[in-house]
Amino acid sequence: MGFPDQILAGHFRHGRWLSLVLRLGLYVLMLLLSLLFAFPLLWMLTMSLKPDSQQYSFPPQWIPSTFHLQNYVLGWTTVGFGHFFAVSLVYALFSTGGVVVSCSMAAYALARLRFRARNVIFYVVLATLMLPPQVTLIPVYLIFRDLHWLNTLLPLIVPQWFAVNAFSVFLLRQFFLTLPRDLDDAGRIDGATEFGIFRHIIMPLSRPALAVVALFQGVFAWSDFFGPLIYETSQRNFPVALGLTYFEDQYGAMHLNQMMAMTVLSVLPVFVVFFLFQRYFIRGIVLSGVSR
């Protein structure tokens, strides 16, 4: 090996070690940031397992001396958290179904059909994203009051069946634009109607984007606090978010461990759903950002 070859080999080995060091440093940094963001969750989990005597101990004891799983049983039965979870489940399922159905149909019209002012309508839909919900809160509240829908789940569920979620419409439209239009033409040649093309061609190919929309809406509905706070006055219609607030007002100071136990149970479905559908979630986000 000549002198120039030795220099090149030395530079190669030096660059490879530098790359390994940088990669290791990046992994360490990501691990530290992960622990930082996971710290509140870890504290919540350890607090949910502490006995009453260790709730406010100082210095705090991060690992309980004994694990009190009874906190979950007591918290679940104290104010009837099972009913709160059932209300949240109904709210999440029906509102998610409404968003997926209505927003996909609106997005299909804006992406695949050709008609006048199509782009103008799309820009108007995007403009609603800049409108805070507090601006329309009073007139919308008065409408639901006149319909006698207050203190029911109808104000939270029914609007979702009319494509009011502009972000979901935008996300699905961007995804629909990535699908070849030859598929539509092939369906029309076979005699399919526009709804048939939408139902049998576009929807099966759009599962990743639909999963993203369903995940976003499901998580939002499950953790929604503002909407139920405005429209629900009876405890029987409280979802989990309002149920936790009610528990805190009644027993939070005395039974912080039980409240943390119920908080752990409230976030558990979100983690489970995300880990089950993360493949569709990531794929849908990536593909929805590519339009033609």
For residue 17, what are its two tokens?
């070690």
In a domain, 225, yes or no: yes
Residues in the chain: 292
% of the chain at pLDDT higher than 70? 89
Q: Which residue ranges in the chain fall short of pLDDT 70?
A: 1-15, 252-253, 281, 283-292
Say if residue 107 is in the same domain as residue 194: yes
As a whole number of angstroms, the distance between CA 218 and CA 239 comes to 13
Overall domain count for the chain:
2
pLDDT of residue 292: 46
**Burial class for 258, CB neighbours closer than 10 Å (0-12, 13-18, 19+):** buried
Whole-structure pTM value:
0.83
In a domain, 55, yes or no: no
Say if residue 77 is in the same domain as residue 10: no
Say if residue 128 is in the same domain as residue 214: yes
CATH number for the domain including 183? 1.10.3720.10
Say if residue 171 is in the same domain as residue 120: yes
In a domain, 64, yes or no: no
pLDDT of residue 13: 59
Say if residue 41 is in the same domain as residue 87: no
In a domain, 65, yes or no: no
As a whole number of angstroms, the distance between CA 74 and CA 138 comes to 39
Identify the domain containing residue 222 by its residue range. 71-288
pLDDT of residue 170: 93
pLDDT of residue 275: 82
Say if residue 44 is in the same domain as residue 76: no
pLDDT digits (tens, 9 = 90+) for 252-285: 667 888 888 999 999 998 888 888 877 776 766 6
DSSP state for residue 280 in the 8-state scheme: H
Say if residue 35 is in the same domain as residue 172: no
In a domain, 238, yes or no: yes
Cis link prior to 59 (omega < 30° from 0)?
Answer: yes
User: What are the DSSP calls for 160-217, one per residue?
Assistant: GGGT--HHHHHHHHHHHTTS-THHHHHHHHTT--HHHHIIIIIHHHTHHHHHHHHHHH
